[in-house]
Amino acid sequence: MTQDAARALRAFVAEREWAQFHSAENLAKSISIEAGELLQCFQWGSEADPDEVAAELADVLTYCLLLADRLEMDVEQIVLDKLAVTATKYPVEKSRGRSDRYTEL
């Protein structure tokens, strides 16, 4: 994320004095809760209202940013770090065009 969203979220939380509720555990619960609401857009099929998806995806991202902020993690960095790990588990030649887990490649 650019710092804009993170900064806006920090200000939003600060003026409401909500940091007291944002333990890492509560934020992890919140990410699961919002992920369920996002999934609800697809509960009975593959088609979903783009506006609803955007609003629910935003909620998941918001709690992810708050958790990263709480744990002083750089979202950009952890995504790139994990991608490097995943790349070693899924070599291009073995995983191309396959959705199998690396344990079954």
Residues that bind its own copies (CB under 8 A): 1-2, 4-5, 8-9, 12, 15-18, 20-21, 23-26, 28-46, 48, 50, 53-55, 57-62, 64-65, 67-68, 71, 73, 75-76, 78-83, 85-87, 90, 92, 95-97, 99
Q: Taking the complex as a whole, how short is the minimal distance between the CB of residue 22 and its own copies, in angstroms?
A: 9
Q: Taking the complex as a whole, how short is the minimal distance between the CB of residue 31 and its own copies, in angstroms?
A: 5
- Residue pair 60/7 in contact (Cβ under 8 Å)? The answer is no
Residue 87 tokens, joined:
């790349």
Q: Taking the complex as a whole, how short is the minimal distance between the CB of residue 67 and its own copies, in angstroms?
A: 6
With vertex at residue 82, the alpha carbon angle to CA 65 and CA 59, rounded to the nearest 5 degrees, is 25
Residue 38 tokens, joined:
């996002």
The total number of residues written for the chain in this structure:
105
